[in-house]
Amino acid sequence: MSLTRNEIECLWKKWNDAWDKHDLDAVMTFFHDDVYFSNWTGGYAKGKKQLKKAWQGWFKHHGNFVFDQKEIFIDEQEQKLLYRWKLTWPSFEKGFEGKEEKREGVDVIHFKGGKIYRKLTFSKTTIEISGQRVELEPR
């Protein structure tokens, strides 16, 4: 099942609405059972169940997050979407815990069977905390 450009745009809007509501169960409905997710730290999850388990703590402890969509690019033929975002949330970086942090990045999204099959997340190596540029420490 391939999605049309309109269907991808509609799915993406609904997916972002679920994120804005911090509704993990709703977010998970958009993922393929065999999803592969990699995050900006190099961590990854294979399969919908593992991804939900990995994100439960994040949603619980960092429920104060907001993703601001900067732009998206859709390739209907390849069933891919590129999503540029800015995340605002309470920082967990050492020495800045709880301060407002802004982080920018890009997600490369692949669709299969009408669901998100791959979500590859990349982030800048600097963030903004309390108006200051901060370089991330290697993990």
Domain ranges of the chain: 5-135
pLDDT score of 138: 65
Mean pLDDT, the chain, rounded, equals 92
Note the CATH number of domain 5-135.
3.10.450.50
pLDDT score of 62: 63
Per-position DSSP letters for the chain, written without gaps between them: -PPPHHHHHHHHHHHHHHHHTT-HHHHHTTEEEEEEEE-TTS-EEESHHHHHHHHHHHHHHSTT-EEEEEEEEEETTTTEEEEEEEEEEE--STT-TTSEEEEEEEEEEEEETTEEEEEEEEE-SEEEETTEEEEPPP-
Q: pTM value? A: 0.88
